[in-house]
């Protein structure tokens, strides 16, 4: 059935079902009414299933189709390892609970039709049951293979898929117990039947180096090799900037220019120039002109949009663009002429942008600097390093000066700085974790953050007022209910947060973090506040950025690794050259919404995959420390136990039954575990010494028990 036929048939059915005289009918009755022969009824069912998935019609428990209010609604099923699940329905504030015996064979991610009691009363969550699966989400599953005599089964890596996949004899590609495999599901099973499938790829044995990360790459559908059409286009790209490309550009090669990145960075997409005259700083943020090589609708462009972002896993980078571009002609390498798109800002001593210019430029980086070296100059005043970079010291001092001014200005308006450490995992050559530690920010990393933020804001404000189609990076105000929950939690630590007409302003969150600074619970308060926020996303309308307390914000500074930056560079350049009008404005109006949705989705996928690889390596690392003791802090309290975070960012669980000195219950009001007899309490932020009890690499969990030394004190 063509798209056009589907649209016509949907309209025809909707017209019938919405007619006041229509009485709900079964599939067979509708087929007879429309005189559809038996061999074409599958087409009718496809149209009805599409309308059900869109929520435009409903189906009763007896299988009769009617208006959406006849007792069924469509939504997306989220599974749980224990078998039950929840269904998220568009327009409903709360998910609907689906008991284990009422999931109807649905697997995590499936679009399902459910029957639910939407007004349960007593403050309880609505409960329902799955009538049918409308769209299966798991055509392939990654997991651990276990072989029996004449068959096998695969335990999915994704714990939210609670059913094993049955593998019949002859469908296992010769896999043995312990192999990580990719399974194509051939039969999704049902309420009483497991899914069935065939193995299409053996990733490797669970103990082989790299198999664990590769399993995550496959599970998230992350791209690996670039298509031939992309590599063919890349072959034609020159290794050096040619004179033709430089024509008509602002030549900034005479300015003292530096890049500042991590030691192991290879894709250098931002460079800085800075000077000061009569109390005014002229800050140049120069971004690699990737669009000069990635032309619209070319194979490179289509692949970059499909990927959306580079993905940074613990042992590898899956780049958005091939290395020849990202590490070559598009990387602002020292001593090489490079094309850039520059935002040059005049900033006064109060941090106000007095004027700016966005221009296509040619630059040449004088020195490739590292955060470590710059920090040694501006913070430690290390004499040897200062001598090595003598010609640049005064510029770095000015950078520190300006960055401090910009940060103070942002702070005054209420910008929130979540300054808790990210995780850095050090691996050996076989991919085994040698060390796990917090990734520390220093004064040099903050300088680059401050300058990039300023450029992003300046570009966003410029294009907002030009009323040109654009992509913005937006962050909506938090949900008031989540902020009320946060207020309850932090009250246990003696903190409070003020509401203004039911809303929380960014400045209030900023004050909370400032009050918690240098306390044992600082990281915990930061995390709780962050979890109460909404996710930032890409949008075509500029609705502001809550976390930054910014009216205008976009992503302009990383076109090598983020598609939205690449997209707005294209718009900016076209506007600079000839102005946008008529057809081109319509063109961007047409495509930008999809670019925003795709980019936001790929960003979430990348974040989740990155988190999973870190969890995996943390688990592997702690498996070498079973029986050892560590100091930690309680980072979560639930009715099943205590989550404890160690100073190296590793988090594990003390199950409630491991607290053997008493019987503990969960006090929901104060978010603490309380001993029935001793009245001893365990609460958020409390220091605790733990011993590593065990790890589960498949589940990616770490179990702790309270250290005996704690009991004896």
Helix (H, G, I), strand (E, B) or coil at 392: helix
Q: Is the pLDDT of residue 711 over 60?
A: no
Q: What whole-number distance in Å separates Cα of residue 13 and Cα of residue 52? A: 12
Residue 275 token pair? 């000077």
Q: What whole-number distance in Å separates Cα of residue 76 and Cα of residue 108? A: 8
What are 545-564's pLDDT values in tens digits? 999 999 999 999 999 999 99
Helix (H, G, I), strand (E, B) or coil at 661: coil
Residue 713 is predicted with a pLDDT of 41
- What is the 3 state secondary structure string of 52-108? HHCCCCEECCCCCEECCCCCEEEEEEEECCCCCEEEECCCCCCCEEECHHHCCCCCC
Q: Which residues contact 185 (CB under 8 A, 6 or more apart)?
A: 136, 138, 139, 140, 141, 165, 195, 196, 197
More confident residue, 124 or 517: 517
CB 304 within 8 A of CB 321: yes
Q: Which residues contact 79 (CB under 8 A, 6 or more apart)?
A: 85, 103, 106, 107, 108, 109, 160, 161, 162
Residue 164 is predicted with a pLDDT of 93
List beta partners, residue 664.
675
> Could you tell me the pLDDT band of residue 10, with boundaries at 50, 70 and 90?
confident
For residue 611, give the nearest of 425, 418, 437 by alpha carbon. 425
Stretch among 300-309, 513-522, 607-616 having the lowest mean pLDDT: 513-522
Chain mean position to CA 625: 30
Residue 398 is predicted with a pLDDT of 97
Q: Is the pLDDT of residue 513 over 90?
A: no
Q: Is the pLDDT of residue 69 over 70?
A: no
Percent helix, strand, coil in the chain (nearest 5)?
35, 30, 35
Burial of 666 (0-12, 13-18, 19+ CB in 10 A): middle
**Would you mind telling me the total number of residues written for the chain in this entry?**
713
Owner of token pair 């469908």: 171
Q: What whole-number distance in Å separates Cα of residue 274 and Cα of residue 281? A: 7
Residue 286 is predicted with a pLDDT of 98
List beta partners, residue 281.
276, 347
Q: Is the pLDDT of residue 1 over 90?
A: no
Residue 712 is predicted with a pLDDT of 44
* Strand pairing category for 250-251 and 353-364: parallel
Q: What whole-number distance in Å separates Cα of residue 374 and Cα of residue 696? A: 41
* Strand pairing category for 367-370 and 258-261: parallel
Q: Is the pLDDT of residue 192 over 70?
A: yes
Proportion of the chain above pLDDT 90, given as a percent: 59
CB 234 within 8 A of CB 324: yes
Tell me the HSE value of 98 on the side-chain side, using a 13 A CA sphere: 31
- What is the 3 state secondary structure string of 443-498? HHHHHHHHHHHHHHHHHHHHHHHHCCCCCEEEECCCCHHHHHHHHHHHHCCCCCCC
Helix (H, G, I), strand (E, B) or coil at 679: coil
Q: What whole-number distance in Å separates Cα of residue 261 and Cα of residue 369? A: 7
Q: Within 10 A of 701 (CB to CB), how many other CB atoms are there?
A: 15
What are 249-279's pLDDT values in tens digits? 999 999 999 999 988 888 899 999 999 999 9
What DSSP character marks residue 309?
Answer: B
What DSSP character marks residue 391?
Answer: G
Phi first, then psi, for residue 152 (nearest 5°) are -150, 175
> Could you tell me the pLDDT band of residue 209, with boundaries at 50, 70 and 90?
confident
- Distances in Å between the Cα of 490 and the Cα atoms of 150, 365, 483, 686 are 57, 48, 10, 13
How much is the CA Rg of the chain, to the nearest whole Å?
29
Q: What whole-number distance in Å separates Cα of residue 589 and Cα of residue 585? A: 6
Residue 88 is predicted with a pLDDT of 83
What DSSP character marks residue 292?
Answer: G
Owner of token pair 């495999």: 181
- Distances in Å between the Cα of 571 and the Cα atoms of 166, 295, 539, 576, 592 are 51, 12, 15, 9, 11
State the distance between the two ends of the chain, measured CA to CA, in whole angstroms.
Answer: 74
Q: Which residues contact 464 (CB under 8 A, 6 or more apart)?
A: 470, 472, 542, 552
Residue 710 is predicted with a pLDDT of 42
Burial track 256-295 (b if 16+ CB lie within 10 A, e otherwise): ebbbbbeeeeebbbbbbbbebeeeebbbbbbbbbbbbbbe
Q: What whole-number distance in Å separates Cα of residue 248 and Cα of residue 624? A: 60
Residue 571 is predicted with a pLDDT of 97
Mean pLDDT, residues 191-217: 91
What are 128-160's pLDDT values in tens digits? 888 888 888 899 999 999 999 889 999 999 888
Owner of token pair 């063109």: 587
Residue 420 is predicted with a pLDDT of 67
> Could you tell me the pLDDT band of residue 187, with boundaries at 50, 70 and 90?
very high
Q: Is the pLDDT of residue 578 over 60?
A: yes
- What is the 3 state secondary structure string of 331-366? CCCECCEEEEEEEEEEECCCCCEEEEEEEEEEEEEC
What are 98-121's pLDDT values in tens digits? 999 889 889 998 988 887 765 555
Residue 465 is predicted with a pLDDT of 96
pTM, full prediction: 0.83
Stretch among 66-80, 240-254, 500-514 having the lowest mean pLDDT: 66-80
Q: What whole-number distance in Å separates Cα of residue 532 and Cα of residue 513? A: 13
What DSSP character marks residue 669?
Answer: T
Q: What whole-number distance in Å separates Cα of residue 312 and Cα of residue 217? A: 11
Residue 396 is predicted with a pLDDT of 97
Which of the given ranges, 128-137, 423-432, 616-625, has the highest pLDDT on average? 616-625
Mean pLDDT for the chain overall: 90
Mean pLDDT, residues 653-674: 87
Burial of 606 (0-12, 13-18, 19+ CB in 10 A): buried
Phi first, then psi, for residue 63 (nearest 5°) are 85, 20
CB 258 within 8 A of CB 365: yes
């Amino acid at each position: 059935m063509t798209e056009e036929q589907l649209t016509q048939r949907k309209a025809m059915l909707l017209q019938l079902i919405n007619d006041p005289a229509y009485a709900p009918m079964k599939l067979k009755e509708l087929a007879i009414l429309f005189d559809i022969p038996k061999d074409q009824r599958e087409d009718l069912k496809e149209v009805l299933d599409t309308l059900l998935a869109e929520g435009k019609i409903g189906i009763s428990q007896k299988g009769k189709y009617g208006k959406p209010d006849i007792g069924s609604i469509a939504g997306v099923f989220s599974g749980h390892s224990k078998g039950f699940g929840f269904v998220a329905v568009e327009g409903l504030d709360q998910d609907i609970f689906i008991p284990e015996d009422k999931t109807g064979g649905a697997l995590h991610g499936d679009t399902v039709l459910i029957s639910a009691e939407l007004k349960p009363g007593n403050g309880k969550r609505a409960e329902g049951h799955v009538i049918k699966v409308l769209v299966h989400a798991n055509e392939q599953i990654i997991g651990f293979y276990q072989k029996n005599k004449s068959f096998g089964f695969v335990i999915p890596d994704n714990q939210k898929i609670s059913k094993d996949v049955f593998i019949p004899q002859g469908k296992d590609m010769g896999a043995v117990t312990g192999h990580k495999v990719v399974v194509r599901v051939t039969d999704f099973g049902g309420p009483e039947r497991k899914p069935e499938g065939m193995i299409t790829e053996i990733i490797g044995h669970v103990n082989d180096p790299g198999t664990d990360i590769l399993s995550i790459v496959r599970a998230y559908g992350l791209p690996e090799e670039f298509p031939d059409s992309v590599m063919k286009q890349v072959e034609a790209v020159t290794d050096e900037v040619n004179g033709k490309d430089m024509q008509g550009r602002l030549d900034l090669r005479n300015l003292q220019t530096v890049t500042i990145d991590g030691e192991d960075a290879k894709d250098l997409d931002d460079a800085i120039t800075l000077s000061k005259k009569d109390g005014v700083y002229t800050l140049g943020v120069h971004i690699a002109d990737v669009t000069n090589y990635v032309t619209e609708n070319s194979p490179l462009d289509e692949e970059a949009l499909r990927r959306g972002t580079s993905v940074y896993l613990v042992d590898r980078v899956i780049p958005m663009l091939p290395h020849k571009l990202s590490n070559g002609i598009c990387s602002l390498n020292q001593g090489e002429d490079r094309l850039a798109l520059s935002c040059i800002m005049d900033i006064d001593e109060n941090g106000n942008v007095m004027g700016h210019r966005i221009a296509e430029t040619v630059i040449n980086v004088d020195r490739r600097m590292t955060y470590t070296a710059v920090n040694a100059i501006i913070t430690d005043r290390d004499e040897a390093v200062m001598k090595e970079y003598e010609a640049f010291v005064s510029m770095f001092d000015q950078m520190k000066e300006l960055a401090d001014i910009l940060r103070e200005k942002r702070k005054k308006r209420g910008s929130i700085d979540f300054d808790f450490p990210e995780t850095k995992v050090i691996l050996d050559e076989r991919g085994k974790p040698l060390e796990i530690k917090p990734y520390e920010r220093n004064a040099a990393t903050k300088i680059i953050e401050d300058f990039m933020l300023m450029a992003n804001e300046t570009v966003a404000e410029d294009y907002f007022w030009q009323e040109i189609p654009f992509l913005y990076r937006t962050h909506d105000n938090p949900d008031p209910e989540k902020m009320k929950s946060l207020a309850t939690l932090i009250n246990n630590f003696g903190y409070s947060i003020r509401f203004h007409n039911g809303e929380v302003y960014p400045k209030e969150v900023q004050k909370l973090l400032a009050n918690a600074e240098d306390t044992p619970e600082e990281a915990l308060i930061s995390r709780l506040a962050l979890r109460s926020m909404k996710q930032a996303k890409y949008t075509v309308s500029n609705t502001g950025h809550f976390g930054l307390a910014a009216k205008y914000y976009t992503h302009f500074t990383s076109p090598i690794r983020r598609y939205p930056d690449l997209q707005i560079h294209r718009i900016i350049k076209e506007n600079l050259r000839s102005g946008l009008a008529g057809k081109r404005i319509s063109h961007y109006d047409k495509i930008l919404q999809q670019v925003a949705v795709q980019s936001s989705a790929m960003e979430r996928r990348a974040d989740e995959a990155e988190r999973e690889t870190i969890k995996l390596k943390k688990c592997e690392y702690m498996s070498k420390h079973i029986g050892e003791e560590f100091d930690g802090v309680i980072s979560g309290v639930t009715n099943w136990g205590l989550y404890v975070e160690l100073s190296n960012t590793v988090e594990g669980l003390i199950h409630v039954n491991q607290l053997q000195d008493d019987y503990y219950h969960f006090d929901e009001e104060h978010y603490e575990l309380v001993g029935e007899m001793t009245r001893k309490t365990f609460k958020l932020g409390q220091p605790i010494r733990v011993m590593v009890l065990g790890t589960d690499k498949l589940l990616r969990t770490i179990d702790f028990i309270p250290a005996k030394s704690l009991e004896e004190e």
